[in-house]
Structure 1
Amino acid sequence: MSTAESRWPESAPELAQELHRCLSLGDRDWHRLKTDADRRSAELMAAALSQLIQGGERNDVEELTEQALRWIRRELKDPGCPHR
């Protein structure tokens, strides 16, 4: 067990991954939810949490968190699908 893993409760990595899977936008709900800023930010925060708990790169955790904050502040919007 790595030092990063030992600081978290045993079930934390799996629970964080499950939360991220639960909040991730899939193919079936992408078009319906892609503009929902709260949903997009929650997905990104769950990804950042999962990365942090699993000992991911700090830069990746920071980037995911910053992008989530930009959705919360309504600084980001979905650009829409490209037209041919």
Structure 2
Amino acid sequence: QTTEEHEKETGLKSKEARKYIFSCLDDIAHVNLVLSLDSSDLQAEKADRREFVSLLKSMLLISAEDRTNPSSVLNHPFLAMTHLLDYPHSNL
């Protein structure tokens, strides 16, 4: 549903419309990064974002031979959360 359709349907005007324009998928990892986190949490958050981008890239490969398959997705560090084991003192 577009913003205009939502406004027409509900009669409410949207207060904010966020638009992000990225030059590459890696830029996603830097959006709204909370810098006020303590060091351990910040490092864990950055690692989590790196793994998310890695997963996204592997799912969006054009070549079907190179693209990740569903079972591999389930074992990816982002979903398995194994990358966070390196940050045992993090609250994430």
TM (norm. structure 1) is 0.39
> Greater relative contact order (Cα 8 A, min sep 6): structure 1 or 2?
1
Larger Rg: 2
TM (norm. structure 2) is 0.37
